[in-house]
Structure 1
Amino acid sequence: MLFAAVQVTWAASGTTVPWSPDVAYAPGVQLLLAALAVLAAGACLATTRTLARRGRVTVAASLILAVPVFVMGMAGLPAYFVMLASFSGVESATGLAHTLLSAVGAALLILVAMSYRRRLRGRCPRCGHDHPGDFDGPLAHPGPSLASRRTRVTVYLLMGGLLPWAAVKTIWTLGGDAIGVTAQGWRESNAGASGVAKALASVGIDVTVLAAAAAVFLLLGLLHPWGQVFPRWTLFLSGRRVPRLLLLLPAWLCAVGLSVYGVVLLITAPLIGIGVLPKLEPSGAFTTSSGITWMVAFGGLAFGGLGFGLIAAARSYSARTRPACANAATPVPTPSAGRSSSVSPPA
Structure 2
Amino acid sequence: MRKNGWAVTGWGLGFAGLGLGCALSGTELFGADWAGWAVAGTGAVAAAAGAAVVRRRPVRPLLWLLCGAAAVGAWGLLMDLVTLLFGQRVDSVPDAVERVLAAVGAVLLARTALGLQPAARGGTGGTGGPGGTGGPGGRTERPAPAPTAAPPLVQLAACAGSLAFVPYVLMKLVWAVGGSFAGISGDQMYASYVHNGSSGLWLALERWGLDGTMLLALLGVFLLWGLVRPWGQVFPRWTAPLRGRRVPRWLPLTPALLGAATLAPYGVAGIGYLTLCTAGVTRIRLGEFASEQSALEIAWVGMCGFAGYGVALVVAAWSYWRRTGARTAGAR
TM above 0.5, one fold?
yes
Residue 21 of structure 2 aligns with an amino acid whose one-letter code is T
Is the aligned partner of 1:11 residue 2:23?
yes
Unaligned ranges ≥5, structure 1? 329-347
Q: 2:49 aligns with which of 28, 43, 47?
A: 43
- The match for 1:282 is 286
Deviations 1:90-148 (A, max 9, x none): 3322222111100011111122222334359898999xxx9565644544201111122
Relative to the length of structure 1, the TM-score reads 0.81
Mapped to 2, the partners of 1:249 and 1:171 lie a distance apart of: 31
1:210 to partner: Cα distance:
1.2
Mapped to 2, the partners of 1:110 and 1:42 lie a distance apart of: 16
Indicate if the aligned counterparts of 1:266 and 1:301 stay in contact, CA closer than 8 A: yes
Residue 187 of structure 2 aligns with an amino acid whose one-letter code is Q
Mapped to 1, the partners of 2:69 and 2:265 lie a distance apart of: 14
Residue 14 of structure 1 aligns with an amino acid whose one-letter code is G
Mapped to 1, the partners of 2:330 and 2:72 lie a distance apart of: 38
Indicate if the aligned counterparts of 1:269 and 1:294 stay in contact, CA closer than 8 A: no
Is the aligned partner of 1:292 residue 2:295?
yes
Deviations 1:259-305 (A, max 9, x none): 00000111112221111222x25331x22211111222112111112
Residue 257 of structure 1 aligns with an amino acid whose one-letter code is T
Is the aligned partner of 1:180 residue 2:160?
no
Deviations 1:58-116 (A, max 9, x none): x3553354222211111101211211222223332222211110001111112222233
1:222 to partner: Cα distance:
0.8
Structure 1 residues 93, 203: closer, same or farther in 2, change over 3 A?
same
- The match for 1:108 is 108
Aligned alpha-carbon RMSD (Å): 2.7
Unaligned ranges ≥5, structure 2? 1-12
Greater Rg, structure 1 or structure 2? 1
Structure 1 residues 175, 65: closer, same or farther in 2, change over 3 A?
same
- The match for 1:245 is 250
Is the aligned partner of 1:261 residue 2:262?
no
Mapped to 1, the partners of 2:233 and 2:249 lie a distance apart of: 8
Deviations 1:14-61 (A, max 9, x none): 3343x2xxxx242x431332222121222233245555xxxx4xx355
Deviations 1:220-267 (A, max 9, x none): 111112211122333332221111111112211220110000001111
Indicate if the aligned counterparts of 1:83 and 1:90 stay in contact, CA closer than 8 A: yes
1:174 to partner: Cα distance:
1.1
- The match for 2:95 is 95
Q: 2:156 aligns with which of 153, 157, 160?
A: 153
Indicate if the aligned counterparts of 2:260 and 2:310 stay in contact, CA closer than 8 A: yes
Relative to the length of structure 2, the TM-score reads 0.84
Residue 200 of structure 2 aligns with an amino acid whose one-letter code is G
Structure 1 residues 203, 122: closer, same or farther in 2, change over 3 A?
farther
1:166 to partner: Cα distance:
1.7
Q: Map of 1:158-237 to 2, 5 A cutoff?
A: 158-191=161-194, 192-237=197-242
- Identity of paired residues, percent? 33
Indicate if the aligned counterparts of 1:67 and 1:106 stay in contact, CA closer than 8 A: yes
Mapped to 2, the partners of 1:326 and 1:121 lie a distance apart of: 10
Indicate if the aligned counterparts of 1:159 and 1:306 stay in contact, CA closer than 8 A: yes
Moved more, 6-15 or 30-39: 6-15
Is the aligned partner of 1:68 residue 2:73?
no
Indicate if the aligned counterparts of 2:28 and 2:35 stay in contact, CA closer than 8 A: no
Mapped to 1, the partners of 2:120 and 2:53 lie a distance apart of: 9
Structure 1 residues 64, 316: closer, same or farther in 2, change over 3 A?
closer
Moved more, 113-122 or 264-273: 113-122
Residue 161 of structure 1 aligns with an amino acid whose one-letter code is A
- The match for 1:343 is none
Moved more, 87-96 or 72-81: 87-96
Structure 1 residues 114, 138: closer, same or farther in 2, change over 3 A?
closer
1:214 to partner: Cα distance:
1.7
